């Protein structure tokens, strides 16, 4: 039974690949898509449950009147059948109605909406450009994704379980009091108007306070995660106290905004008790006065009393639910600051996959200044022929990494284009483009998973033998066999820690090289691929890398000029422009910038000056 209601909605079903709306109600509408008919059933079942509860209170008053008007010995003989039917209703029909309502709310709604919101938000963020993630805290983004799911789900649940149920209950209570005497409903209606006005006044302030509190919470989470992610730097530079102050400032801001939120809760509690005092004295006092005048019966006074006391208890809960709804609205709006951002780099409509035939790369008038008007690349035109191995040389900031980032479409150029085998990379799918390019960077972060999972990231369909062969070629197999994590997993099953921190820099680099070897893409990009290796391991891997380059189009970036001296061509970049292009010997003979860099390098490295 549970499984039936849980599977009425698939939270991971395909969804429109579009930017989520930035406004609250428009965003909620997209998340409720597919829940419409079920939500209608939930609304009906909620009304039925509320009517049952109010009917029980009304019937309890009738039972008191029956008892008051009948002798005890003949009570069951006169009213036994009616009481039996009432008991059967309470024992069977009431639990069935309430059970159905909760199955729909908890198994169908809560059990699916929560994860659907998080899944869609995460899926959208994964499609963002590299620049998007470089400009924000990973901790803040993850916190917003996690909070967003809870806020949408809990807010929707409360709207059905709290507001809708309470509204039906109040209307039914007013109808019952009107049946007893229309004048009894007047105090309830007056209270309801005052209650709605007061709740709305407080809730709007809560929504604003909640959004600020949520923003402070996300900032705090981002700073804490940033410190943990870079704990090595924190320890290395003895910046523990500085990090404490950095987080403490965010914590103080969080505390201040949380305190403002709690002040509203205290105001809410005080005002609510004043309103409830008016409700109890108004309805109960009026019903007692009517009884003294012979207008209503004792049972009707008891029913009015029970309805009022029940509503008094519910009112605090209803207001808390209402405030929570507005609190969740603030959390959702805060989360949408990240979730509703359009993708900076997108596939063209109906973009085909890259059809790579030869592996020729052309940079045609490429310009990119990161929106600053300077820096980056300035009208770069360069051709890399099929199977050619080209080294990129230049001081920091010359534009080498910018060229590679644009080739991979981590960003789109501000001017010019990049062609691979005559196809503009902006016109093909990003996944197909990157599937044809293998890249090893100088900062080879690994996923916090097993060594095997990290290696197979390059080619998930690879066999065990192919994976081991790649590890051996990258001089990684031997040290992998010695690994063991705190849970006792060893070898290829050992987990490497967040960003691969449990491995040395050289070990991470060798795993990254093995992963690219396993991928075996026809275009290879090396960005300081051996910078983290010691000389002995580097010498062994260099031979493997040169073997891996055979038949591939290669672009290699290196400050250690000796590692690219054997390339077919060397391109020198300076201030975003190509200033020299030729073989190692040709450039030395030209006695230009490259020759000067070669002469001035110390220990094989390119100096900054």
DSSP codes, 86-147: HHHIIIIIHHHHHHHHHIIIIIIIIHHHHHHHHHHHHHHHHTS-HHHHHTS-HHHHHHHHHH
> How sure is the predictor about 363, in pLDDT bands with cuts at 50, 70 and 90?
very high
pTM of the model: 0.75
Q: What is the pLDDT of residue 420?
A: 95
485 φ, ψ (degrees, to nearest 5): -100, 175
According to the model, what pLDDT value does residue 286 have? Answer: 82
* CA torsion, ordered 178, 184, 190, 191, to nearest 10 deg: -100
Complete DSSP assignment for 326-366: HHHHHHHHHHHHHHTPPPSS-PPTTPPPP--SS--EEEEEE
Helix (H, G, I), strand (E, B) or coil at 527: strand
Contacting residues for 20 by C-beta, under 8 A, at least 6 apart: 27, 30, 120, 121, 124, 336, 339, 340
> Region 468-484: what's the mean pLDDT?
91
* 480 vs 177, higher pLDDT: 480
Report the Cα 271 to chain-centroid distance in Å: 37
How high is the mean pLDDT of the chain?
84
Is the confidence at residue 593, as pLDDT, over 60? yes
pLDDT band at 564 (very low <50, low <70, confident <90, very high): confident
- 226 pLDDT above the threshold of 80: yes
How many of the other CB atoms lie within 10 Å of CB of 571? Answer: 23
Instruction: Please write the tens of the pLDDT for every residue from 254-269.
Output: 898 888 888 887 777 7
Higher pLDDT, 360 or 1: 360
- What is the band of 133 on the pLDDT scale with cuts at 50, 70, 90? confident
Q: Is the pLDDT of residue 604 over 80?
A: no
Return the pLDDT at 603: 43
CA 6 to chain centre: 23
Helix, strand, coil percentages in the chain from 3-state DSSP, rounded to 5:
65, 10, 25
Residues counted in the chain: 609
Model pLDDT, residue 385 = 94
Question: How far is 264 from 599, CA to CA, in rounded Å?
Answer: 71
Share above pLDDT 90 across residues of the chain, in percent, rounded to a whole number: 23
Residue 477: per-residue pLDDT: 92
**pLDDT digits 0-9 by tens, 405-434:** 999 998 899 899 999 999 999 999 999 999
The Cα–Cα gap between 290 and 298 comes to 10
Measured at the CA of 267, the angle between CA 266 and CA 271, to 5 degrees, comes to 120
**Element holding 318 (H helix, E strand):** helix 298-339
Instruction: Return the number of other C-beta atoms located less than 10 Å from residue 461's C-beta.
Output: 6
Q: d(Cα 513, Cα 506) in Å, to the nearest integer?
A: 10
Pick the residue with more confidence: 229 or 524? 524
Query: Do residues 559 and 478 touch, judged by C-beta distance below 8 A?
Result: no
Listed ranges 99-103, 231-235, 424-428, 597-601; the one with the highest mean pLDDT: 424-428
For the segment 376-396, what is each residue's pLDDT rounded down to a tens digit? 898 999 999 999 999 999 887
Lowest mean pLDDT among 395-399, 449-453, 528-532, 551-555: 528-532
Report the chain's terminal Cα–Cα distance, integer Å: 73
Would you say residue 165 has pLDDT above 80? Answer: no
Q: How far apart are CA 552 and CA 521, in angstroms?
A: 8
Whole-angstrom Cα distance, residue 221 to residue 600? 46
More confident residue, 414 or 604: 414
Rounded Cα distance between 126 and 118, Å, is: 12
CA-based nearest residue to 436, from 564, 548, 553:
553
pLDDT class of 189 with cuts at 50, 70, 90: confident
For residue 326, with 0-12 CB atoms within 10 Å meaning exposed, 13-18 middle and 19 or more buried, which class applies?
buried
Lowest-pLDDT choice from 214-228, 257-271, 306-320, 420-434: 306-320
Residue 516 CA to residue 512 CA, distance in Å, equals 6
Answer whether residue 140 shows pLDDT above 50: yes
Beta strand 361-368 with 415-420: parallel, antiparallel or unpaired? Answer: antiparallel
247 vs 317, more confident: 247
Highest mean pLDDT among 3-12, 372-381, 497-506: 3-12
Residue-range domains of the chain with CATH: 23-72+80-339 (1.20.1560.10), 361-436+521-600 (3.40.50.300), 446-506 (no CATH)
Which pLDDT value is given to residue 534?
A: 67
524 touches 548 (CB < 8 A):
yes
Under the banding of pLDDT at 50, 70 and 90, the label for residue 609 is very low
Longest dimension (CA), the chain: 123
Torsion of CA 330, 336, 337, 343, to 10 degrees: 180
Residues forming beta bridges with residue 393, ordered by sequence position? 572
Strand partners, 523: 437, 553
């Amino acid at each position: 039974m549970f499984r039936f209601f849980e599977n009425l909605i698939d939270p991971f079903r395909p969804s429109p690949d579009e930017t989520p709306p930035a406004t609250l109600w428009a965003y909620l509408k997209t998340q409720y898509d597919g829940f419409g008919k079920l939500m209608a059933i939930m609304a009906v079942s909620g009304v039925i449950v509320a009517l049952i509860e109010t009917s029980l209170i009304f019937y309890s008053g009738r039972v008191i009147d029956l008892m008051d008007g009948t002798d005890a010995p003949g009570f069951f003989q006169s009213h036994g059948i009616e009481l039996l039917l009432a008991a059967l209703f309470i024992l069977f029909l009431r639990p069935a109605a309430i059970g159905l309502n909760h199955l729909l709310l908890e198994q169908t709604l809560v059990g699916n909406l929560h994860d659907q919101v998080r899944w869609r938000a995460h899926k959208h963020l994964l499609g963002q450009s590299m620049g998007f993630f470089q400009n924000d805290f990973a901790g803040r983004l993850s916190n917003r994704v996690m909070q967003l799911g809870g806020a949408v789900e809990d807010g929707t649940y409360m709207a059905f379980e709290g507001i809708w149920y309470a509204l039906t209950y109040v209307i039914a209570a007013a109808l019952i009091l009107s049946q007893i005497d229309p004048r009894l409903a007047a105090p309830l209606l007056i209270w309801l108007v005052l209650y709605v006005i007061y709740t709305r006044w407080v809730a709007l302030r809560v929504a604003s306070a909640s959004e600020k509190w949520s923003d402070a919470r996300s900032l705090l989470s981002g700073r804490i995660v940033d410190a943990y992610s870079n704990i090595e730097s924190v320890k290395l530079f003895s910046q523990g106290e500085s990090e404490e102050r950095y987080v403490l400032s965010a914590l103080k801001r969080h505390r201040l905004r949380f305190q403002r939120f709690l002040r509203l809760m205290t105001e809410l509690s005080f005002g609510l008790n004043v309103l409830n005092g008016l409700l109890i004295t108004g309805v109960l006092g009026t019903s007692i006065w009517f009884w003294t005048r012979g207008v209503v019966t004792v049972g009707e006074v008891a029913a009015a009393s029970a309805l009022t006391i029940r509503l008094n208890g519910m009112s605090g809960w209803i207001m808390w639910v209402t405030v929570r709804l507005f609190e969740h609205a603030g959390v959702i709006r805060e989360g949408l600051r990240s979730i509703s951002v359009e993708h900076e780099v997108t596939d063209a409509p109906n973009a085909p996959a890259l059809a790579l035939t030869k592996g020729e790369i052309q940079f045609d008038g490429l310009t990119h200044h990161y929106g600053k008007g300077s820096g980056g690349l300035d009208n770069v035109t360069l051709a890399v022929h099929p199977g050619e191995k080209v080294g990129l040389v230049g001081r920091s900031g010359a534009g080498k990494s910018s060229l590679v980032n644009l080739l991979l479409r981590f960003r789109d150029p501000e001017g010019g284009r990049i062609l691979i085998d005559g196809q503009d990379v902006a016109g093909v799918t990003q996944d197909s483009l990157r599937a044809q390019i293998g890249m090893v960077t100088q900062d080879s972060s690994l996923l916090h998973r097993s060594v095997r999972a990290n290696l197979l990231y390059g080619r998930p369909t690879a066999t065990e033998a192919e994976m081991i062969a790649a590890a051996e070629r990258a001089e990684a197999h031997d040290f992998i066999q010695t690994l063991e994590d705190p849970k006792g997993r060893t070898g290829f099953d050992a987990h490497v820690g967040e960003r691969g921190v449990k491995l040395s820099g050289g070990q991470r680099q060798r795993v990254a090289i093995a992963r690219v070897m396993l991928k075996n893409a026809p275009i290879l990009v090396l960005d300081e691929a051996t910078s983290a290796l010691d000389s002995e391991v580097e010498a062994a891997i260099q031979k493997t890398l040169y073997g891996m380059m055979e038949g591939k189009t290669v672009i290699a970036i290196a400050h250690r000029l000796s590692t690219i001296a054997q390339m077919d061509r060397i391109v020198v970049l300076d201030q975003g422009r190509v200033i020299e292009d030729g073989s190692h010997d040709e450039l030395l003979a030209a006695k230009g910038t490259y020759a000067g860099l070669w002469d001035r390098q110390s220990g094989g490295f390119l100096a900054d000056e």
